Structure 1
Amino acid sequence: MAERKMQALVSTGAGGLDEVLRGGLPASNLYILQGAPGSGKTTLALQFLRAGVAAGDRCIYVSLSQTKAELEAIALSHGWTLDGIRVEELSASDAVNGATDQTIFQTAELRLDETRKAIETAIEEHKPSRLVYDSLLEIRLITGDTPRFRRELIAFKAFLAKRNVVALLLDTQVPDAQHSGEEVEGIAHGVICLNKSLEEYGAIRRRVEVSKMRGVPVADGYHDMAIREGEGVVVFPRILPGAAAQTVKPQLIKSGVDELDAMFGGGQESGTTTLVIGQAGTGKSTMASLYATAALKRGESVALFLFEERIETFFRRSEGLGMDLRQFHEDGQLIISDFNPNEISPGEFGQIVQQAVRGENVRVVVIDSFTGYLNSLPHRDKAVRDIQSLLKYLARAGVLTILIVAQHGLLGQGVGIDVDVSFLGDTVLLLRIMEHDGRLRRSITVVKKRHGPHDLDVRELFIQSSGVMVVPYNPLPEA
């Protein structure tokens, strides 16, 4: 670990990727950036060089596949410029000036030699600290055979190492393709793979993997990413529960309704997760609003994430129950966001929640509804694992997390998702509607509580404009 701390690091230009790399790329090495066309290689390469310009480094972009005008257009689409970046625009197909008539003998070899000389001359003249080489595909096509291609890459690596250049080589050959024995990954100090896939519905899903990085304990596996206008490649590192603040001493969190708190043995505990389960109209969202309002009145901050309800609808529903939360939102004490679930990945959502908890004194987090969030994702079982990591992070931060889970159909026969989520909850609050004497009655029951005592009685829940009441279920109160 001591050697790692002394090693100089350079930023990739994407903060989330630097986090995955534990600070950045080790200096003076050669790296390969792999990905299919459109996966974001050029955008990330420009971010890498722009970060170098900001740090005062000399930067050069050697392009065999794109013109300077094309690079400028990509930069302009994000509101960037190429100021401070020298673009060496080469054409591997006609790198030999004055030798275009040699179509049979040594043409490929001459092209390779001239291309190499042009690149080396540009590096010697500009003396860059950072270099992007775009792309290996052109060199692969010129050499024509694997041994020659490997020798060229090894020689280029040695050339750069003598000049302390951090180089990023772009490669459109993805890891799952046939490599024909090239094994270019073994030559590079590190390999970063950009992956994109089109699901049956919704936006393209993008992910990044650091498949190799010598001497660095990277956060391995896939991490969600996106390409954003003005930001470029944005990486959302997978959540590590241990990254949260040290576990705080549990505290009782009240709802503001004494009878409801009594059902939980005095209140719910911080650092736990509560599943609020019920069919439509049972008061699930009202329960969440109740705890949010009580926390806000205590001076604590609350983060509320909506996947089915609009923000304005939430405010109006709460006001109809005597809970006016608009001022808390305007003051910044209530953090509230609504999402189109099809446009957000589990990784990005996890990062948004973490940032809310880190930046404020958030004691209550509400996800309404967890069912709508999961139903919008193509791989719900994997999303549940992502949420589990997020919940562990929130628990370590001492946050009470409330997950709203809907049941199937209007009358609610079973949970509304086809994966098991019951293990996620430390506490399960079950809300139901049943008919009695010609009217519908809401019932409320605490069916599970891992920590401490709780009331197993079924009680009746009244939701009125004057507020929320919890009373013994029998006898039926007078109207």
Structure 2
Amino acid sequence: MNSGIEGLDEILRGGLPASNLYIIQGAPGSGKTTAALQFLRAGVAAGERCIYVSLSQTRAELEAIAVSHGWTLDGIRVEELSASDAVNSAADQTIFQTAELRLDETRKAIEDAIKEHKPSRLVYDSLLEIRLITGDTPRFRRELIAFKAFLAKRNVVALLLDTQVRDAQHAGEEVEGVAHGVICLNKSIDEYGPVRRRIEVSKMRGVPVVDGYHDMAIREGEGVVVFPRVVPGTAAETVKPQLIKSGVDALDEMFGGGQESGTTTLVIGQSGTGKSTMASLYATAALQRGESVALFLFEERLETFFRRSEGLGMQLRQFYEDGQLIIRDFNPNEISPGEFGQIVEQAVTGEKVRVVVIDSFTGYINSLPHREKAVRDIQSLLKYLARAGVLTILIVAQHGLLGQDVGIDVDVSFLGDTVLLLRIVEHEGRLRRNITVVKKRHGPHDLDVRELFIESSGVSVIPYNPLPEA
């Protein structure tokens, strides 16, 4: 059954199993109500009857949430019930079990609504109010089991919203054991920057879900959007690697004839050494061969990229306008690793991209709060791209004009099958660019240091000749 949440069905391997009870857990503001509305809207779109049973929110509040996304509640029946009176009455009553009576009334009202309207989908908001009415854990658990049996007889798929995330204090409730599946929504706020949101399918009986946390977001007009982690095994293995050339014969010779598809190249160098130019060179050559290319910019603006390339004779605007060249530029803290991985994956599968450039990897990793996790995420993405036969170029910046510090406090050298080192050396008042292939896992390569020239006429590589002594 379609959950109505983009990306979640992929994690669930197709959707929610029918005729079962599910719990969505999360703190206030984590997106539970929005996700529930998406679930019901998907049912309405499929021609199903849907009910939203609310013990904590009014119809007006639900409509406000829907309107904020440009939605309506058309086709969704809202049943408003109040449990607040039960709490107040139970506190004052000592002889009659008013809480039990109110629980019976609440249950009867919900069951009558289900019997009358015969929904296929139901949202119950929320379990907190039932906890307050029941007052003790055993009764709460029995109530939940009975409600599950009632729904199962009528083939209703229900989402129960729960603000109580399991912890040591509430472990005895074992709510997760009653439900067929449990979906946890998580949000965290760093010292500076936007809210980080994640989703985890912590339980789903009979379904080999993609376990662990996945990045998510709440966006106007879209609601909850989930970005499944990239799994390397989902890409087909390339049958035969191909040599990918740069268009500069001397540079291709350094790589033993060219770079291989299905590999990752780290282009490392300090500012002004020509790192981005190397990436543009391979992108231009691939585009001229008729292949698609994707560039992801984390430091350089789009217009700056075009002007720099045009200054070297590489005309890329038309390829971009034709859609053969895909370019995305990102602002710091704008994107999560999960969303970035999905964008890259969609470019490879949907647009048949053969060359991917990330410029720069330093800018990407510095925009994330947890760098070591980001390196693990990018490693999975690189394995996926390798199995899809894509040449990936990672630009890694060094600090300073002549320094060797790459500015990242974690080791990234293992990410590259090939490492191209660009340096600037100074002699007698002149700066010279050097280029060296310091690593290549697949096939032979040239270990010589050569000189790199970047001029308006183009890029050239020549044997390195030391300047004569003064």
- Fold shared by both chains (TM-score > 0.5): yes
Task: Give the aligned partner of residue 170 of structure 2.
Answer: 179
1:471 to partner: Cα distance: 0.6
**Conservation of the 8 A alpha-carbon contact between 1:370 and 1:404:** yes
Residue correspondence of structure 1 range 200-279 to structure 2 within 5 A: 200-279=191-270
For 1:355, give the aligned amino acid. Answer: Q
Letter in 1 for 2:193: G
Q: 2:319 aligns with which of 328, 333, 338?
A: 328
Q: State the secondary structure of the residue aligned to 1:26.
A: coil
State the match for 2:422 in structure 1: 431
Deviation at 1:326, TM superposition (A): 0.3
Q: Per the alignment, in what secondary structure is the counterpart of residue 260 of structure 1?
A: helix
What is the one-letter code of the residue matched to 1:201? Answer: Y
**Contact 2:34–2:223 (CA under 8 A) maintained in structure 1:** yes
Q: Distance in 1 between matches of 2:371 and 2:91?
A: 60
Give the 3-state SS of the residue equivalent to 1:50 in structure 2: helix
- Is this contact kept in 1: 2:90–2:99, CA < 8 A? no
Alpha carbons of structure 1 residues 207 and 248: separation in structure 2 relative to 1, 3 Å: same
Q: Provide the residue aligned with 1:396 in structure 2.
A: 387
CA separation in 2, counterparts of 1:357 and 1:317? 26
> Equivalent residues in 2 for 1:21-100 (5 A)?
21-94=12-85
Cα gap change, 1:101 to 1:462, in 2 (>3 Å):
closer
CA contact (8 A) 1:63 1:88 kept: yes
Residue by residue, what CA displacement relative to the aligned partner does 1:174-229 show, whole Å, maximum 9, x if unpaired? 13462151111100111000000111222111000000111111100000000011
Q: Encode CA deviations 1:385-444: one digit per residue, 9 max, x unaligned.
A: 110110011111111000000112232222210101000000000000010222000000
Distance 1:101 1:141, change over 3 A: closer
TM-score (norm. length: structure 1): 0.95
Q: Secondary structure at the match of 2:173?
A: coil
8 A contact 1:302–1:334 mirrored in 2:
yes
**SS at 1:411 equivalent:** coil
Partner amino acid, structure 2, of 1:53: V
Shift of 1:111: 1.1
**Distance between the aligned counterparts of 1:256 and 1:93, measured in 2?**
73
Percent identity for Structure 1 against Structure 2: 89
Instruction: For 1:25 and 1:117, locate their aligned partners in 2 and report how far apart those are by CA, in whole Å.
Output: 27
Q: 1:101 to 1:186 in 2, by over 3 A?
A: closer
Secondary structure in structure 1 of the residue aligned to 2:333: helix
Where do 5+ consecutive residues of structure 2 fail to align? Answer: none
Q: Which residue of 2 aligns with 1:169?
A: 160
SS in 2 for 1:309: coil
Indicate whether 1:347 and 2:338 are aligned. yes
Helix, strand or coil for the counterpart of 1:286?
A: helix
Determine the structure 1 residue equivalent to 2:453. 462
Task: Return the alpha-carbon distance in structure 2 between the equivalents of residues 16 and 410 of structure 1.
Answer: 44
CA distance in 1, matches of 2:337, 2:15: 24
Pair 1:126-2:117 in alignment: yes
Deviation at 1:142, TM superposition (A): 0.7
Are the counterparts in 2 of residues 95 and 114 from structure 1 also a CA contact under 8 Å?
Answer: no
Query: Does the C-alpha gap of structure 1 residues 108 and 311 become closer, same or farther in structure 2, counting only changes over 3 Å?
Result: same
Pair 1:471 & 2:446 matched: no
- Kept in 2, the 8 Å contact 1:193–1:208? The answer is yes
Q: Distance in 2 between matches of 1:211 and 1:101?
A: 36
Residue 116 of structure 1: which of 107, 130, 145 is its match?
107
Alignment of 1:303-322 (within 5 A): 303-322=294-313
1:248/1:397 contact within 8 Å kept: no
Task: String of CA shifts for 1:333-392, please: whole Å, max 9, x gaps.
Answer: 000000013021000000000011111121100000000110111111111111011001
The residue number in structure 2 matching 1:147 is 138
Q: How many residues align?
A: 466
Q: Deviations over 1:259-279 (max 9, x none)?
A: 000000000000000000000
Deviation of 1:103 (Å): 4.1
Which residue of the other structure, out of 263, 271, 274, is the alignment partner of 1:283?
274
Deviations 1:305-348 (A, max 9, x none): 00001100100110111111000000000000000130210000
Deviates more, 1:402-411 or 1:131-140: 402-411
Contact residue 93 and residue 111 of structure 1 kept, 8 A: no
Which residues of 2 match residues 361-440 of structure 1 at below 5 A? 361-440=352-431
| Deviations 1:138-161 (CA, angstroms, capped at 9, x unpaired) | 000111011110111011001001
Distance 1:101 1:379 in 2: 47
Instruction: Deviation per CA, 1:242-289: give whole Å up to 9, x if none.
Output: 111332310000001000000000000000000000000000000000
The alignment's TM-score, normalised by the length of structure 2, stands at: 0.97
Paired position in structure 1 for 2:6: 15
Q: CA deviation at 1:100?
A: 11
Q: Distance in 2 between matches of 1:360 and 1:343?
A: 23
CA contact (8 A) 1:63 1:90 kept: yes
Contact 2:86 2:133 in 1 (8 A): no
C-alpha contact 1:276 1:428 (8 A) present in aligned 2: yes
SS at match of 1:250: coil
